[in-house]
């Protein structure tokens, strides 16, 4: 299932009187437009400008949208604690991918949730099942724990894996995070 790109979706929502007048994703876009070459994120010797982070988060949003993730029911049509959005689990140590996953999810209208990296398999299974997570961005070091519970999570259909020093191979069915960004439209 494919939907409109991030930019087109924002235009459509504004035409329809869509979500709030501004969102954190739109604030990010506005700041990036005003200072594209300034540093947005500096982490362990890596520097990313506002323009770079904006492009990377748009690409992630478009990857999620292309995989059918997003908001399927508007807030006005929900009650109480219901969520009309798909959920993205963020199972990462600190790094640029963490911020990108949060902003990319917002731009795709996907709700993100943090995964405690100390969780054992039983806790991870509970969190991912209870949240109905359809996607996860995960550092390779955590893939053995996810692999233990993956057969019990049939709705987890998007796995974006970030390589690290652990050397763990790509999980079956997963996509390398950078490959997903490279293949998605900006």
Residue 125 contacts residue 151 (beta carbons within 8 Å) = no
pTM for the structure as a whole: 0.86
- Over the stretch 111-157, which tens digit does the pLDDT of each residue have? 999 999 999 999 999 999 999 999 999 999 999 999 999 999 999 99
CA–CA gap between residue 61 and residue 59 (Å, rounded): 5
Distance CA 104, CA 125 (A): 24
d(CA 134, CA 76): 23
Q: What's the CA dihedral at 47, 183, 174, 66 to 10 degrees?
A: 110
pLDDT at 123: 98
Q: For each of the domains in the chain, give its residue range(s) and CATH number, in order of start.
A: 6-183 (3.40.50.980)
Cα–Cα distance, 185 to 66 (Å, whole number): 10
What's residue 74's pLDDT?
A: 86
68-106: per-residue pLDDT in tens? 999 999 888 888 888 899 999 999 999 999 999 999 999
Length of the chain measured in residues: 186
Cβ atoms of 91 and 146 within 8 Å: the answer is yes
């Amino acid at each position: 299932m494919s939907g409109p790109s991030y930019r087109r979706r924002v235009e459509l929502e504004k035409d329809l009187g869509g979500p709030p007048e501004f969102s954190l994703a739109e604030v990010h876009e506005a700041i990036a437009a005003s200072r594209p070459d300034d540093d947005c994120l500096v982490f362990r010797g890596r520097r990313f400008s506002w323009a770079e982070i904006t492009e990377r988060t748009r690409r992630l949003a478009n990857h999620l949208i292309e995989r059918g993730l997003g908001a399927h029911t508007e807030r006005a049509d929900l009650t109480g604690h219901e969520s009309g959005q798909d959920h993205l689990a963020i199972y990462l140590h600190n790094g640029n991918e963490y911020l990108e996953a949060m902003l990319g999810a917002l731009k795709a209208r996907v709700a993100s949730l943090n995964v405690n990296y100390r969780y054992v398999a039983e806790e991870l299974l509970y969190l991912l099942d209870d949240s109905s997570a359809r996607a996860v961005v995960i550092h390779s070091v955590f893939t053995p724990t996810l692999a233990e519970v993956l057969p019990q999570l049939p709705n987890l259909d998007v796995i974006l894996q970030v390589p690290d020093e652990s050397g763990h191979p790509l999980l079956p069915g997963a996509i390398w995070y950078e490959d997903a960004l490279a293949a998605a439209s900006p």
